[in-house]
Every structure is written in structure tokens, then in C-alpha cells.
Amino acid sequence: MIKKYLIISAAAMVLALPLLALAQLPVPTIPTVPGTSLSEIESIIRRIAQFFMIIGVILAVIYIIWGGIKWMSAGSDPKAADEAKMRMRQGAWGALIILAVGLILQTLAGIVTRVFFQ
């Protein structure tokens, strides 16, 4: 019974981490002048990219940890161990892809505002 509560509380803490990270971001202000500038568009793109990168990397780490737990609990079953190793590889590739997409979005935001070429 205690093991079940520990697993649920650990999962709740891991899921609460993005909320703590997002709580540190400054509150966006709504412009009072009609229209938007390139710097506002760049700021929006960067925030969206950072949000999805944080969520994606946290999910990838959870997936890798899940694979590690499955590998440890596989015992002498080679099929279960191979599936767990594959899950860990998929989590690592997922994290790399998420970070690459975040880098691409950051670069596009810099190109849109022409800060990238200065």
C-alpha cells in the first residue's frame, strides 16, 4: 500500500515540475497599441518553444526512467530486457529530436527579428 502511494506521489511531483518552471517566467503583457512588432512575435515564438521543450524533455526523461525500471525488473527474461533497452533508446532519441526542434524554432525566431544576422 505504501509503495503505491510513493509511486503516485513521485509521479505527481514529476508532473508538477513544469508548473514550477513556468511560474518563474515573467507575466506577458498585452499591447495596448494595435498591431504587433517583430520583437513581440519573436518573444511569443521563444516562449512557445521553451514551453514545449521543457514538457517534451521531462516526458522523455520519464520515458527513459520507465525503461530503466523495466530493465531492472526484467530479471533473466531477455525479451523484456531488450524491450526495456529499446524504450530507453527511444526516450533518448525523443529528447534529442525535441531539443533539435527547439533549436530550429529559436533560430527561426532570431531570423524573423533579424537579430540572427547582426
The predicted-structure confidence for 26-36, as pLDDT tens digits, reads as follows 766 655 556 66
- Over residues 14-38, the mean pLDDT reads 65
Instruction: With a cut of 90, say whether residue 38 has pLDDT above it.
Output: no
- Of 11 and 59, which is predicted with more confidence? 59
Q: Which domains does the chain have, with CATH numbers?
A: 38-118 (1.20.20)
Looking at this protein, which amino acid is placed at residue 63? Y
Q: Residue 39: CB partners within 8 Å, gap ≥ 6?
A: 113
Lowest mean pLDDT among 36-45, 75-84, 92-101, 107-116: 107-116
Q: In terms of C-beta density within 10 A (0-12 exposed, 13-18 middle, 19 or more buried), how is residue 60 classed?
A: buried
Q: What rounded mean pLDDT belongs to the chain?
A: 78
Helix, strand, or coil (residue 59): helix
The pLDDT, as a whole number, for residue 93 is 92
The pLDDT, as a whole number, for residue 83 is 93
